[in-house]
Structure 1
Amino acid sequence: MMVLITYDVNTLSNSGKKRLRNVANACKDYGQRVQNSVFECSLTESQFLILRARLESIINIELDSIRFYFLGKNWERRIEKIGKITSFDISGDLII
């Protein structure tokens, strides 16, 4: 399933800045950054549950927030882009 993950982490303290880095690193492990606090992730159900638990363990629920948008199987038709595109098609072939 394609999941769009967005987050807002309070960075007024050093611990907030560390949480922000940790949230971004957790999301990088499962998807690609498409904007500063937005990731596109192609996940199985079990991967989603693992990532969600990991993110919950990182954030301060009184100061920070994370949103998960489930785009479904036809996600390509649900995304429109304007301007510079810095991401790649995660469902396509990747040559390293």
Structure 2
Amino acid sequence: MDLLLTYDVDTTSPEGRRRLRRVAKLCEGHGLRVQKSVFEIVADEKDLLRLLDRIDATIDTTCDSIRIYRLPHHGFDDVQTLGTAQTQPHRQDLVL
């Protein structure tokens, strides 16, 4: 499934800044960062549940926010971009 994951972590404290780094690291392991707090992710249900469980264990639910949008199958194939944004290859092997 194609997912758009966004997050807003309260960084007014050192703990919040650590949570932000942890959430970003988790997301980097599952998808492509397309903006500072926005990731495009291709995952199956099992991978999504694993990611959600890890994020839920990381965030402070009283002040942090995670939003996940399920897109139509191959929804990333129809992304329009403006400015410096570029489309990303989601289903190809990534070389790190």
TM-score normalised over the length of structure 1:
0.90
CA distances 1:54-75 after superposition (whole Å, capped 9, x unpaired): 1000000000000001012130
Identity %: 39
The 5 A counterparts of 1:1-96 are 1-75=1-75, 76-77=77-78, 79-86=79-86, 88-92=88-92, 94=94
RMSD: 1.6
Moved more, 29-38 or 86-95: 86-95
Secondary structure of residue in 2 paired with 1:32? strand
**Could you tell me how far apart the structure 2 residues matched to 1:94 and 1:56 are?**
27
TM-score normalised over the length of structure 2:
0.90
**Structure 1 spans left out of the alignment, 5+ residues:** none
Is the Cα–Cα contact under 8 Å of residues 9 and 65 in structure 1 kept in the other structure?
yes
Secondary structure of residue in 1 paired with 2:54? helix
Q: How far apart are 1:88 and its partner, in Å?
A: 2.2
**Structure 2 spans left out of the alignment, 5+ residues:** none
Aligned residue pairs total 95
